[in-house]
Amino acid sequence: LIYPPNQLLLMETPRPDGSLGLLYLAGALEQAGYETDVLDASVGTKDDNLEDTFNHQVRQANGLIRIGMSPERIKEFITKGAYDIIGINSNFTSQTSMAFDVAQIAKSVNPKMLVIVGGVNARSLSERFLDNKNIDIVCLSEGEKIIIRLVEEWKKDSGWENVSGIKYKKDGQHVTNPTARDDIYLNLDELPFPAWHKLNFDYYDKIAFSRGGGLNPKEARYASLMTSRGCLFKCHYCHISLEKEGSLNTGQIGSIRFKSVERVLEEVKRLRELKVKKLYFEDDCLLAKNDRIKIIFESVIDMGLE
């Protein structure tokens, strides 16, 4: 599972990725018994040097700055791993070509490798992604259950007709299998725990930038978590509103769902065991239930975190 390198304007502040999407997929795959690696290509592995990855800025022909592992190093990593399946995260439109680059590298290692792409940007631009010869499948919804079904069907080599929540290529045509109700966790307490332990925290500590802003590296290790999914509101500019209607074949993933306070605090406990001290809440509608989030915040403080 790969977060591609970053691609930024010169004025933008580079940050590592480590967002939750791939961590949930890794947790689901491991729970189902599948061996899984997670690579944040913006920083690389423990065998890489930040001077060669995150701190190595390359000006591209499009004027944007590329930050992360070189194509050659990503190819070396994929080759060494001898992977059967590559999953690529694509949440932001500005990173589209970076996802394409990773897909191309994967297929150059093994043309038979299955390449799956997911995330808001991938499903919003699903036609463009599938027009890329190096991408086989686009996930249209939350992927924890879908990724397991994809792996199971891949093992059978029986095609993708029985997997809902995806768009794929068949005989040169794009085929859409809309998301089914049971593709989505309605009870978020049943979600597999994110595989935070697969992140390169030692390098994140050195960079000292969270998804929410800068940190003093001597202060604390940070990590992201979510206490809910979806949103109460329906704003015209937001993809979540469309996902409430299922008009993107995503199912009702825009509808708000909550984890119990007990589940959230269990996640915080696991992050504490990874020496995390500061939390960045990724919820789209964090204050939907003020009394609930107050309990969570107070409990987090009582556990010694910020």
Q: What is the DSSP letter of 53?
A: T
Q: How many CB atoms lie within 10 A of CB 6?
A: 25
Low-confidence ranges of the chain (pLDDT < 50): none
**d(C-alpha 262, C-alpha 289), whole Å:** 15
The pLDDT, as a whole number, for residue 104 is: 98
**d(C-alpha 110, C-alpha 103), whole Å:** 11
The pLDDT, as a whole number, for residue 12 is: 86
Q: What digits encode the pLDDT tens for the residues 130-176?
A: 999 999 999 999 999 999 999 999 999 989 999 999 999 999 899 99
**d(C-alpha 178, C-alpha 142), whole Å:** 12
The pLDDT, as a whole number, for residue 214 is: 58
- At position 66, the amino acid (one-letter code) is R
The pLDDT, as a whole number, for residue 39 is: 97
Look up the pTM and report it. 0.94
The pLDDT, as a whole number, for residue 221 is: 87
C-alpha closest to that of 18 among 280, 268, 216: 280
C-alpha closest to that of 39 among 51, 53, 28: 53
The pLDDT, as a whole number, for residue 306 is: 84
86 phi/psi in degrees, rounded to 5 = -120, 130
The helix (H) or strand (E) run that includes residue 166 is: strand 166-170
Q: What digits encode the pLDDT tens for the residues 88-111?
A: 999 999 999 999 999 999 999 999
The pLDDT, as a whole number, for residue 199 is: 94
